[in-house]
Amino acid sequence: MKHILLTLAAAACAVSSHAQIAQVTSTERLLAGVESEMYYPILNEDGSRVLFSACNYKGLRMYDFNDGVTVKISDEERAGFDASFTHDGRSVYYVSQKKVDGLNMRQVKQYDIEDKTVTALTPMGRKVSRPVALNDGMIVKVDGKSHGAVSGDDVTVRIEGSKLYIGHGGTEKAYSPVESYAGYLWASVSPDKTKVMFFAAGKGIYIVDLQGNVVSELGNYEAPVWYGNDCVVAMNAKHNGYQHISSQIVMMRADGSEFQELTRPESMTMNPSASIHSGKIVYNTIDGRLYQMNITLK
Amino acid sequence: MKMKKINALLISGLTALSSLAVEPSDLIIYINPGHGGYDSDDRVINLYPFADGDTSTFAESKSNLGKGFRLRELLWEKGYNVVMSRVTNTTADDLGLTTIGRLANAAEADLFLSIHSNATGTANRVNFPIIFFRGYDNEPVYPEAKVWATEIDNHLLTNNATIWTSTNTNVRGDWSFQPSWGTQGYGVLRALTLPGALSEGSFHDYIPEAYRLLSSHYYWVEGWNFSKAVNEHFGIAGVDYGGIAGRVNDERVLRTGDYKMFQEDLLAPVNGAVVELWDASGTTKIEECVTDELYNGMYSFRKVAPGTYKLKYSSPIHYADECDVTIEADKITYVNPKLKKVRSTPPVVLSYSPVWSEGADSVLCNEPIVLNFNWDMDVESTEAAFSIEPAVEGTFTWEDQNYRMVFTPNDTYATSTKYTVKLATSAQHAGGMAMESPVEFSFITTNRNYMEITGLFPNEGDPVHYDGASIEVRFDKYPNVTPILDQIKCYDSTGATVGLLKRGMKYSKTGDEYGYFRIPFIKDLTIGETYTLELSNAIADKDGITLKESVSLKFNAVDAGEAKSDPSIETMEDASLYSQNDDGCVNLVSSAVTLSTGLFDKCVSFAYEFVGTEGGEAMWQRSSLAELSATSADALGVHVYGDLTGNEVYLQMTSETDVKYAKLCDMTFLGWRYIVVPLTMLEGVNAYKVSGVKITQDASMISRKGAVMLDNVNLIANGAGIESVTSDDSALTIYPNPASEYLISSADGIIDCIELVSMSGQVVARAEGNVLNVSEVAEGSYLARVFKSGGYIVKKVVISH
């Protein structure tokens, strides 16, 4: 018990020394005593709301920093896996999953935050890509068929195995900038829509331009997210083959020039989400506690 | 209520799955071969014949991958979509646990399997599968995952090419199995949006299993059983062919290796065995498989049409054999052949021991008889063919895969005796062929068959000064002190063990004249307490010759320095008063008188070294007579620190007219002792004063050198009548010495009885009165204990027939 308490205390304490990129101004636990089992936080652009799910991505809940209220968006399987806010922040896209005749079927849904209503955006399918929020709506592939339409200034990215599909100017091209047998994960477009970041399993985080050229290599960290156009926040987890033995939140310059530990390795902190507009980074601990860290860029 | 709900879920899940009409092509199976790269989080076992660091040895990352490949092949063949987290074994393949889970989710897989093998993490060795799902045992996060885990376990247990130490179902929720992790569980199962299981397929720290996990045939067996579980899970029909797999062992040659083995794993696996699959009539060979050189004996035939076949097996050093085998579709038929080794010549004894010839050194009385053969021998016939004259009871043991027979006598041989060993021609090797010629040889034993205790302290009934006491045992040979703390025990009167200080132990080293060990007690003894000292008869010399019998004796803790009100006529505080008197010395090499720490402040130590083991005398003269005097009516109370040599200590007493010697003791003890000596040997009313100290050597191998310390010599006025002596009485005589028939004691006063006590503390003879028949007592040195009213007196005697 003592060990656990120390671990949790460490989770709450950011690493404040030798900060090169940002200064951590405060760290606080969210929804203590109110909610539990909170994983995979997703902040909206202005940092006023955060989505979170269960450890196995079952269900989706949203916490509003302004009114302190948590609402349940979905109880469905996998709802937290591919969730995102719409571009205007008024809705949430997510993918639900349920068994139909013994097979997992998935469907893209939209939750209207104000009306608290859910709308199915696609038919159910076996293969459903991650819905990508666009300037207007979203685009997703369901069993090979696209749903939604991109406009000329939309920049999109999606992954199939070890292929990165970057779309802009109305066209989409496949790239394999880095060899990775296991595949790519955590692809995202920078806020200024000039770069794409992804994680190559076994290799690490890479940033490419919109033509798939590698512009920086950030190291073998997981779950990277953008903090503005110039910084990246990720998790640095180690394991012994069976369980995690350390995990921390780290920050780095997008050009790879600087690196900073935001939490200690023993804090077992994971799955960061970030909003440069609010100066917030939200992450969870391995036992499902949610923390908010406030930072100021140097 | 909760349990009912879960069971209902499980049942509904099973029903739903069994009624599916899905095709393998609809499904995606995600395979995660656990670990990756030969890195720190890999599990590596250094197996013979691989050198440290050779990645050809067992590495879990490698075998997990091998099993994953075989599973993928089988699933592909059925038409499943398969995704693997890795297909190589490099450091980069050791993916993060979060990454693996997310990759499986991103692949939209329907079923997840993480392939591992297990280790106990203890010295215990077992072998069985354990399959994990996420959640508590009876509360899985995905009920379907528990079903999936159970299907895996059931199929893995059908593997008859291995040796399972348990065939119980071992399907566990990771939260229940690792409660200290809370609900963290196994990392790869945490984030799955699909049913997943982590298979610990067997225990790789069970070394025979580690060898099997080097074999691609074994990977195929496990992969097959995984694929059967996948088919069962989705209600997919199996394959229309079967397979054969198994393990080839020698029928009786044992596996070598200092590790745990169970059941048929005790038999040596056959490297390079040829296993052939023939048609049922045995006329057409269909396929051939050769076992590898990695001590697992594994083979397999992986795609065999249902029907009856003949399986033939042989090796260059084994007879060929065969059996019929029936193959069923979608099933592995396990055949584990045991090959009979070719033994084409009769057995002969290649060498034996002990080897002895006339004029050669005689043989130790505990020497085992060893026979080395050219073949592994049949135990029963060979032991029956063995004989030794004179008859000796002993125990047979077999070594080197039964190529060596060892006969160890239960007790030692008789001394100086000629023994003759015979092995008759009825001895057979394992192939049933008998010896053509008998073997006979002889040897003569030494004149010593037991280790002898030559000095022991404490001895039976001894008073032992409580402070700084030690146990000391002296022997005729150097003892093997390595196991000594297991062989010597001391208990107080409640039966509680009294601790001995191992790091304070001293013992004989090369160059010492006799063997001994001295070991102090950890704590002071309790005054007035009676203790029991036990010496095991397993105490042995460097040749393994042991004591004849165990020793058990009692002794009492006393305060040898208990305050005495009597005046000291010699305080023994000034060593410079004493110097060697050459005229009183015989066969003395050297002596030294020094001031030492005594019972009462200081004392005088008299060290001496004689030329040989008998006939020596040492004399130290006081430069002036002590101040106080004593007469024959008085007694002395003397504090003596004995050196366990058995040598006699005297005080020289001088009057104006003559010189007398008051014998203080035989130094058959170690440490401080208070001794009362009646001065009846003095003349009349003359006043005697202490004028010197004398040592007279006892004839024994432990008497050549030592040191006696003397502290306060007290005057007990009018104490000559004291009879409660505990050590010596110069008025008492025991004769003859050496004795052959009778030992007779004479003293002032009535003698109650005589006991003869061995040097190991055992009472070997006892008689009421003053005459003891010793005609049946073995030769040697003893202590005669003569009981008078109020106490007893001890004298060293020798029995010689």
pLDDT tens per residue, range A107-153: 999 999 999 999 999 999 999 999 999 988 999 999 999 998 888 78
> What fold characterizes domain B2-234?
Aminopeptidase (3.40.630)
A226 located within any domain: no
**Are A166 and A93 in a shared domain?**
no
Please tell me which residue of chain B has the smallest CA distance to A238.
Answer: B96
A225 located within any domain: no
* pLDDT at res. B719: 64
Class of domain B561-725: mainly beta
> What fold characterizes domain B242-339?
Immunoglobulin-like (2.60.40)
DSSP state of B627: S
Regarding beta strands B463-465 and B551-558, do their DSSP bridges make them parallel or antiparallel, or are they unpaired? parallel
List chain B residues with CB under 8 Å of A235: 98
**Are A87 and A137 in a shared domain?**
yes
Taking a C-beta distance cutoff of 8 angstroms, is the pair B300, B289 a contact? yes
Domain end point (choices A148, A176, A209): A148
Phi, psi of B418 (to 5 degrees): -95, 125
Tell me whether the CATH fold assigned to B349-444 matches the one assigned to B453-558. yes
Decide if domain B453-558 falls under CATH 2.60.40.3710: yes
**Are A42 and A132 in a shared domain?**
yes
Residues of chain B with pLDDT under 70: 1-20, 563-565, 719-731, 748-749, 759-762, 789-792
Phi, psi of B76 (to 5 degrees): -60, -45
Residue-wise pLDDT for A24-55, tens only, equals 999 999 998 888 899 999 999 999 999 999 99
A200 located within any domain: yes
* pLDDT at res. B731: 62
**Are A22 and A49 in a shared domain?**
no
Query: Which of B43, B97, B183 lies closest to A244 in CB terms?
Result: B97
**Are A182 and A204 in a shared domain?**
yes
Determine, for residues B187 and A97 on separate chains, whether the beta-carbon distance falls below 8 Å: no
**Are A127 and A164 in a shared domain?**
no
Edge-to-edge strand ranges of the sheet holding B463-465: B463-465, B551-558, B530-535, B488-491
Q: Concatenated DSSP letters for chain A? A: -HHHHHHHHHHHSB--TT-SSEEEEEEEEESTTT----EEEEE-TTSSEEEEE-TT--SEEEEETTTTEEEEEE-SBTTTTS-EE-TTSSEEEEEEEEEETTEEEEEEEEEETTTTEEEE-S--BS-BPPPEE-SSSEEEEETTEEES---TT-EEEEEETTEEEEEETTEEEEE--S--SS-EEEEEE-TTSSEEEEEETTTEEEEEETTS-EEEEEES-EEEEEETTTEEEEEEEEE-SSSEEEEEEEEEETTSS-EEESB-GGG-EEEEEEETTTTEEEEEETTS-EEEEEEEE-
The predicted model scores a pTM of: 0.66
Q: Concatenated DSSP letters for B430-479? A: TTSPBPSS-EEEEEEB-S--SB-EEEEES-TT-EEESTT-EEEEEESS-B
Residue B219 Cα, gap to closest chain A Cα (Å): 20
**Are A192 and A143 in a shared domain?**
no
pLDDT tens digits in sequence order for chain A, 298 residues long: 333 333 344 444 455 445 489 999 999 999 988 888 999 999 999 999 999 999 999 999 999 999 999 999 999 999 999 999 999 999 999 999 999 988 999 999 999 999 999 999 999 999 999 999 998 899 999 999 999 888 878 999 999 989 999 999 778 999 999 999 999 999 999 999 999 999 999 999 999 999 999 999 999 999 999 999 999 999 999 998 888 889 999 999 999 999 999 999 999 999 999 999 999 999 999 999 999 999 999 8
Domain ranges of chain B: 2-234, 242-339, 349-444, 453-558, 561-725, 732-801
**Are A278 and A291 in a shared domain?**
yes
Residue-wise pLDDT for A98-107, tens only, equals 999 889 999 9
* pLDDT at res. B748: 67
The CATH number fitting domain B349-444, selected from 2.60.40.3710, 1.10.10.10, 2.60.40.420, 3.40.50.300: 2.60.40.3710
CATH of the domain at A137: 2.120.10.60
**Are A167 and A242 in a shared domain?**
no
Cα–Cα distance, B242 to B228 (Å, whole number): 12
Determine, for residues A241 and B234 on separate chains, whether the beta-carbon distance falls below 8 Å: no
Domain end point (choices A96, A114, A148): A148
Q: Concatenated DSSP letters for A130-144? A: PPEE-SSSEEEEETT
**Are A254 and A155 in a shared domain?**
no
Angle of helix B216-234 versus helix B143-156 axis, rounded to 10: 140
Residue A105 lies in domain:
37-148
Query: Which of B35, B103, B194 lies closest to A104 in CB terms?
Result: B194
Domains: count for chain A: 3
**Are A162 and A136 in a shared domain?**
no
Give yes or no for B43 touching A (CB within 8 A): yes
Residue A298 Cα, gap to closest chain B Cα (Å): 31
Cα atoms found within 13 Å of the Cα of residue B689, Cβ hemisphere only:
15
Task: Say what percent of chain A tops pLDDT 90.
Answer: 81
Cα–Cα distance, A292 to A283 (Å, whole number): 7
At B548, list the tokens: 């004849």
Cα–Cα distance, A57 to B105 (Å, whole number): 10
* pLDDT at res. B434: 97
Residue B117 Cα, gap to closest chain A Cα (Å): 12
Determine, for residues A57 and B193 on separate chains, whether the beta-carbon distance falls below 8 Å: yes
Residue B187 Cα, gap to closest chain A Cα (Å): 5
Residues of A with CB under 8 A from a CB of B: 4, 55-58, 77-78, 81, 97, 99, 101-104, 106, 126-128, 159, 181-183, 185-186, 199, 201-203, 222-223, 235, 237, 239-244, 270-271, 286-287
At B249, list the tokens: 């062992």
Domain end point (choices A200, A220, A240): A220
CATH code for the domain defined by B732-801: 2.60.40
Cα–Cα distance, B27 to B555 (Å, whole number): 84
